[in-house]
Structures are given as C-alpha cells and as structure tokens.
Amino acid sequence: MALAEKKTILAIETSCDETAAAVLSVADGQKWPQIKTLSSIIKSQIKLHSKMGGVVPEAAARAHVKWIRSVVKQALKAISYKLEAVDYIAVTVGPGLIPSLIVGVEFAKALSFATKTPIIPVNHLSGHLYSPFGREFSIFNFQFPNISLIASGGHTILTLMKNEKEYKILGQTLDDAAGEAFDKVAKLLKLPYPGGPEVAKLAKMGKPIINFPRPMINQKNYNFSFAGLKTSVLYYLQSLSTKHSRLHLPSARADGGQVALSTKQDICASFQQAVVDVLVTKTLRAAKEFKAKSISLSGGVSANLKLRNQLRNSCAKENLNFFVPPINLTTDNAEMIGIAAAFMLHNGFKPKSYKQIQPDSNLYL
C-alpha cells in the first residue's frame, strides 16, 4: 500500500520485559517512507526481574497486564492524540515469551475491535532490523546491498539486505546469543541483571589481557557460537580459585563473587573484546563477499560502545556507510515496531482484521 497521505501508527511491544507504546506518523517520501516519531513510552520491568536474576515469564506477563493500558494512554496523551484518530495499530506478534506476547496482542486486538482500526502484525526481529532506518533514513543516502547485524538477548543474526524489502539470513548463532552470553558472564561474576550493561561498565575500567577464544571467527560461514566463550570465562574463574587455594589465600570462588574488582574488570574487558572481535570480523567479511555498500547494527547489544565504535571504525576503513540506531532504540521499544510497520506498508503489506492476528513465540525473521 503506497502511503499517498500521512498516516498515524500506534505501535505496541510486549515481547519480553518492556511494556512499550509509541505513536508515529508516516508518509511516502520520494524514495523512502518519511517516518516521524511523535511519542514513545517504555515501562521497564528491570526492578521486578533483578530480584530473580533474570526474566520470569509469568511475572513479566502480569506486569504487562498491569501497565499496558497506562503506557498506551501515555503515548497518546503525550501528543494530545485520540485513539480514534489512529490509522493503524502495529503490534509485536513474535518471537518472544508467549505469556508476554499474548498481553500486547490481545490488547491490540481489543483496541482494533473497539475502534475498527486495522492491525499490522510485526516480527520483533524486523523491528530491530529496521530500527537503524527510522529517524535518519530519509536524510542519509542509504545504499544497498547492506549487511545487517542483529545482536540481542535472544538472537544473533547476520542478514544481507538487497533493498528495503528483500533480505536473506546469512547466518545466526548456533547456541547462545551475544546478549545471552553477556548476561551469563555477568551472572558468573555476580553482577546485577541485566548483565550486558554491567559487563560493559566494568570493561571500561579493565584491560583485555586475558586471551579468551574467538569462537568460529575463522570459519567461512556466517554462524556464531558464544556458549563456549562463556564456559572459558567459567574455567578462568575456576583456575583463579585453584591458584588461590594452593597459596592459602582467601578463596576467589568459581562463581566470581569474591574475585578482586580489578580482575573482574579485566575479565569483562577481555570477554567483551572477544565477542566484539567475532561480531565485527564476520560482519566485515560478509560485507566484502557480498560487495555491500553499507553496514547496519541493531539489537540490545548494539548499545555496547565498544561494538559500536569498533564496527564504525572498521566501516570507515573500508569505505562503508555505517548505520546504528540511537542508544534508546537499541533495547526493546515500540518505536522500532512502528518503524518496521511503516516499511511493511511502504512495501505493500495489507493491514489485517483483529480476527487474523495470533502471537507466535517462535516466529522466524
């Protein structure tokens, strides 16, 4: 459906532990959709889940039920907008935690039923994939082919985008996602949840002096594997523990709880460097093989400054355009769901009746 006139999208995201809503206005530009974010509200559940050391699906769903009405209301109220004036409701239908997805999807369906507004069902991963193309997409001269790396808590996927509509998955993680590895290493070091930002914080003060492995870095495919790297961190902690007990020093237990702060900082810096080296090397190799003109980066791990900077510098050396969303669009939010919905409309998608919408926790990109 070409968007001859300006339309308004109300976007809703509840796939994991953020209850989020955003309102965007979209119109077709000469080449790309002109997207403007009018409001964006995120109610984070970090406090709730940090007590448990990770996301508890049942608790997440209950919190979504508690917050969704007021989050959507706030997104509309922030711009004095009435629900009746919304043209489309975009909602994340998967992948994600099914109890969480159900809340957002059923809420969107109820709104659609009450106001006769059609629904755009959005894949959460397309939300990440298109998140770098939001606010600045029409300003830059975006060039395809593009290699896009999505690195989040649940996924690590490398895609080749031929244009703004067609893309192909080149590879993905065979076990843990990059964000999951950050979270698990944080747990080993007894850092608070969510672990990624905590590891990054300590890494800033440390030196990458421990030579952790760079899994699959030299393999000629575009898959990833981070579970072994996490295990290497565990073995390293265990080796510290053995050394300390041999010297009759106070124990630095394998759980990392009692490791000296400076050692923790070095472990974080070394682990982070290993993940970044693998992600950047394989992304650049894909760009070379597929003669890409640009690279984009998205997902929660793209909040990591080391990753952003190393990939940006590598792109500059290779004369590739680099696109990354602003930090507040890296972790889960509804704005990216609205951006993906705008591209779906631009690419000819026909919005659906609420009767045709179902959540799917295992949805593929």
C-beta nearest to ligand KG4: residue: 300
Among 161, 233, 303, 342, binds ligand KG4 (CB under 6 A): 303
Q: Segment 225-264, which members bind ligand KG4 (CB under 6 A)?
A: none
Binding mask 185-214 for ligand KG4 (x = CB under 6 A): ---------xxxx--x--------------
Decide whether 189 or 329 has the Cβ nearer to Zn ion. Answer: 329
* Strands, sheet with 33-44, edge to edge from the N-terminal-most edge strand: 33-44, 18-28, 7-13, 88-94, 119-123
Minimal distance, residue 228 CB to ligand KG4, in Å: 18
| d(C-alpha 80, C-alpha 23), whole Å | 11
Are the C-beta atoms of 94 and 362 separated by less than 8 Å? yes
Q: Can residue 121 be called a binding residue for ligand KG4 (CB under 6 A)?
A: no
Decide whether 39 or 100 has the Cβ nearer to Zn ion. Answer: 100
Q: Please count the residues of this chain forming the interface with ligand KG4, following the rule CB under 6 A.
A: 20
User: What residues contact 179, with CB distance under 8 A and at least 6 apart?
Assistant: 151, 152, 153, 154, 156, 196, 299, 300, 301
∠ Cα 123 150 330 (to 5°): 85
Measured torsion, CA atoms of residues 197, 254, 231, 188, in degrees rounded to the nearest 10: -20
- Residue numbers of the site for Zn ion (CB under 5 A)? 152, 332
Could you tell which of ligand KG4, Zn ion, none binds residue 126, using a CB distance below 5 to 8 A set by kind? none
Minimal distance, residue 312 CB to ligand KG4, in Å: 15
Segment contacting ligand KG4 by CB under 6 A, of 81-89, 149-157, 242-250, 263-271: 149-157
Minimal distance, residue 345 CB to Zn ion, in Å: 21
Could you list the residues that contact ligand KG4 (CB under 6 A)? Answer: 16, 152-154, 179-180, 182-183, 194-197, 200, 299-301, 303-304, 331-332
